[in-house]
């Protein structure tokens, strides 16, 4: 018998060689039907693979990222099976799961796939899925594996085999298809109920443009049709809300070749949003006891040698410029500058926690192929701050930071979020992680304790911590359910000593502070990109670049329109008059396209009654109001930063 420890800590006994799927079945049939893979002693395994020793076990379903990626990778095998049955002689390279589905790279001997071909392949995949074939794992010797693919004439798989060790090689078969793969896979093809092949493109073998161009077929699959339908709908909506498209239509940002790739130019409407976000951050941080600082965009090489950004992060920085025989770098992060502000005066425990904030401009070298609208840029404005505190203060500070995130989520109507808590990997101490095993464990425990005590939803991820301490990535979902990584919150126990930062503690001894790095609003670039999609460009009143548009029905009413404009401006409302000689219908349509929250329509009746007719974006006619009444409503809406 073997002992199986489940995630809730309970221990059950099973016969040696029992599979995760059988264990699931012993718990409930319903659960067994949902199991896609298993995590056995921390490793992702086939649910059908025999377990031969005492183990910890987590059953993985669609709700687990590893379950989902096993599902999608298995769908790639199914795609390959379909391709092979329709195009015999096809050769395959690799077929991984990706963020949203899967792809398989293949050599079709020069054949181009059309949309119609994709539909035929989809149909074949559905047929094969219904055959309910099992994914069968088989250990194979290197010689036999080489033999198999020599017979098949697939030089790509032979190339893969070259890099593999004998004794480490497995084949997986389902139906008539066999692949070289380390797995894992889902138990059977019939779990794949809905399939969409989304795209076909060229991909150089091994990503090297000197190599042959292979065909890459992309797809996505789900355990039921409804999920696929919802996903396709979401994609369609995402296309309409594409921040690059909306950013251009609404005059938010632009790029220019001569300025350079990845260097956004913020247009007047974008600058308004930036200013409003900074106002929000300043108000929030003032209340939370932060102090604002301003630091230069560049610094000497030695600063980054002290911080360790050089050489570890050199790839992510712009190349240096030489001045007076010294190398200077554009800053990729604000931390070193802030540390120098901490170090500029002698500090006592009475001054801690010291919270230094700055909307800092950073420059990062991203590969040109990686640049993407506002999501991946080379110049970014970060809602940054560094909190210097004692160990005893850590919990309260961490909690306050956490509360600030939640406060912002509420303002922006972000209902779904999760904190990804990234830990160090003990095997890579001194290499990828600063070599302080005890400090790592201690700090990780501090953070975990704070997350648990604040009842924050989080997942732990091994081996993704920052160089100098555990890290929390905040993932949020937009209104249409797309996931974004927004910001990080990091605990740092290394930079303090690298910079020889210290404060005089209660016992009159020097002590190194802990540092919290936090950026709840992320960067303007990524956050506004997110907001464009989240709001579909319809910014709430407080953020809207133009809040009120005044539309006189004809030139006769310009005078009254100007009086209203002045009143609104005196009240710091961002308002404009549409004084073009267009028909009112066109003026309304154009204002709606620019997604201006309020329209005030001025005609004969309004002038006579000294009132205004109000139209709310997306809601239509709001009736006739006295100007003062309207002002009172929108003042509250703006002050409270209401979403609607």
Which residues form the interface with Zn ion (CB under 5 A)? 181, 335, 517
Total Cβ atoms within 10 A of residue 271: 14
User: Cβ neighbours of residue 278 under 8 Å, at least 6 residues apart?
Assistant: 359
DSSP state of 482: -
Give the nearer residue to Zn ion in terms of CB position, either 314 or 594. Answer: 314
CB of 123 to Zn ion, least distance (A): 22
CB of 470 to Zn ion, least distance (A): 14
- Secondary structure in 3-state letters for 71-105: HHHHHHHHHHHHHHHHCCCCEECCCCEECCEEEEE
Give the nearer residue to Zn ion in terms of CB position, either 90 or 252. Answer: 90
Give the nearer residue to Zn ion in terms of CB position, either 304 or 598. Answer: 304
CB of 343 to Zn ion, least distance (A): 15
Give the nearer residue to Zn ion in terms of CB position, either 309 or 517. Answer: 517
Give the nearer residue to Zn ion in terms of CB position, either 332 or 335. Answer: 335
CB of 491 to Zn ion, least distance (A): 11
Give the nearer residue to Zn ion in terms of CB position, either 471 or 517. Answer: 517
Partners of 139 in beta bridges: 170
CB of 374 to Zn ion, least distance (A): 21
CB-based contact 78:29 (threshold 8 Å): no
Which of 592, 602, 591 has the alpha carbon at shortest distance from 567? Answer: 602
Partners of 45 in beta bridges: 38
CB of 172 to Zn ion, least distance (A): 5
User: Cβ neighbours of residue 601 under 8 Å, at least 6 residues apart?
Assistant: 551, 553, 584, 588, 612, 613, 614, 615
- Secondary structure in 3-state letters for 133-188: CECEEEECCHHHHHHHHHHHCCHHHHHHHHCCCCCCCEEEEECCEEEECCCCCCCE
> How far, in Å, CA of 274 to CA of 598, rounded?
21
Give the nearer residue to Zn ion in terms of CB position, either 81 or 606. Answer: 81
Question: What stretches of 347-421 show up as alpha helix (H) in DSSP?
Answer: 394-411
CB of 73 to Zn ion, least distance (A): 5
CB of 567 to Zn ion, least distance (A): 45
CB of 333 to Zn ion, least distance (A): 5
Give the nearer residue to Zn ion in terms of CB position, either 19 or 178. Answer: 178
Give the nearer residue to Zn ion in terms of CB position, either 355 or 517. Answer: 517
> How far, in Å, CA of 147 to CA of 151, rounded?
6
CB of 35 to Zn ion, least distance (A): 18
Conformational region of residue 109, where left means phi above 0, alpha means psi within -120 to 50, and beta covers everything else: left
CB-based contact 527:535 (threshold 8 Å): no
Give the nearer residue to Zn ion in terms of CB position, either 335 or 596. Answer: 335
Cα distances (Å, whole numbers) of residue 208 to 111, 213, 353, 546: 21, 9, 51, 48
């Amino acid at each position: 018998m073997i002992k199986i420890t489940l995630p809730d800590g309970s221990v059950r006994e099973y016969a040696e060689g029992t599979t995760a799927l059988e264990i699931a079945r012993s718990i409930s049939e319903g659960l067994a039907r949902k199991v896609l893979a298993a995590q056995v002693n921390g490793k992702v395994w086939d649910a059908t693979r025999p377990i031969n020793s005492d183990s910890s076990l987590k059953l993985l379903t669609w709700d687990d990222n590893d379950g989902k990626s096993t599902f999608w990778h298995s769908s790639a095998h199914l795609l390959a099976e379909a391709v092979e049955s329709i195009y015999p002689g096809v050769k395959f390279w690799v077929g991984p799961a990706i963020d949203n589905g899967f792809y398989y790279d293949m050599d079709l001997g020069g054949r181009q796939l059309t949309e119609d071909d994709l539909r035929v392949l989809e149909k074949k995949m559905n047929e094969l899925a219904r055959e309910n074939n099992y994914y069968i794992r088989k250990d194979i010797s290197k010689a036999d594996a080489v033999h198999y693919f020599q017979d098949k004439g697939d030089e790509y798989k032979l190339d893969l085999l070259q890099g593999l060790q004998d004794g480490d090689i497995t084949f997986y078969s389902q139906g008539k298809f066999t692949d070289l793969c380390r797995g894992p896979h889902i138990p059977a093809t019939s779990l794949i109920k809905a399939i969409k092949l989304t795209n076909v493109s060229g991909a150089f073998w091994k990503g090297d443009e000197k190599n042959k161009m292979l065909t890459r077929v992309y797809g996505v699959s789900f355990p039921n049709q409804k999920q696929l339908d919802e996903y396709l709908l979401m994609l369609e909506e995402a296309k309409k809300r594409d921040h690059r498209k909306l950013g251009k239509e609404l005059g938010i940002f632009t790029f220019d070749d001569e300025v350079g790739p990845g260097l956004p130019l913020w247009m007047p409407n974008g600058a308004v949003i930036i200013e409003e976000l900074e106002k929000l951050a300043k108000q929030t941080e003032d209340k939370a006891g932060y102090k604002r600082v301003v630091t230069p965009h560049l610094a000497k090489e030695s600063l980054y040698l002290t911080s360790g950004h050089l050489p570890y992060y050199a790839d992510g920085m712009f190349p240096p410029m030489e001045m007076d025989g010294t190398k200077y770098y554009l800053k990729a992060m604000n931390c070193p500058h802030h540390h120098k502000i901490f170090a500029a005066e002698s500090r006592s425990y009475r001054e801690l926690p010291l919270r230094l904030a700055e909307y800092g401009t950073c420059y990062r070298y991203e590969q040109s192929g990686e640049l993407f609208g506002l999501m991946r840029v080379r110049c970014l404005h970060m809602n940054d701050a560094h909190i210097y505190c004692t160990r005893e203060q850590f919990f309260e500070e961490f909690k306050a930071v956490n509360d600030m995130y939640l406060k912002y989520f509420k303002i922006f109507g972000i209902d779904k979020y999760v904190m990804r808590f990234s830990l160090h990997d003990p095997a890579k101490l001194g290499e990828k992680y600063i070599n302080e095993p005890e400090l790592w464990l201690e700090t990780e425990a501090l953070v975990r304790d704070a997350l648990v005590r604040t009842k924050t939803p989080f997942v732990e991820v091994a081996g993704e911590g920052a160089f100098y301490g555990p890290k929390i990535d905040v993932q949020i979902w937009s209104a249409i359910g797309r996931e974004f990584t927004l910001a990080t919150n990091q605990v740092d126990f290394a930079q303090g000593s690298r910079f020889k930062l210290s404060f005089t503690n209660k016992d009159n001894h020097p002590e190194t502070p802990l540092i919290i790095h936090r950026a709840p609003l992320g960067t303007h670039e990524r956050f506004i990109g997110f907001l464009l999609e989240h709001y579909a460009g319809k910014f709430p009143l407080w953020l809207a670049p133009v809040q009120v548009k005044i539309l006189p029905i004809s030139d006769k009413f310009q005078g009254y329109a100007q009086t209203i404009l002045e009143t609104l401006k005196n009240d710091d409302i961002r308002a404009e008059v549409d004084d073009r000689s267009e028909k009112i219908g066109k003026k309304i349509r154009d204002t709606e396209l620019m997604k201006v929250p309020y329209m005030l329509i001025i005609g004969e009746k309004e002038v006579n009654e000294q009132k205004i007719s109000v139209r709310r974006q997306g809601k239509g006619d709001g009736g006739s109001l006295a100007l003062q009444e309207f002002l009172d409503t929108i003042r509250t809406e703006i002050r409270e930063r209401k979403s609607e």
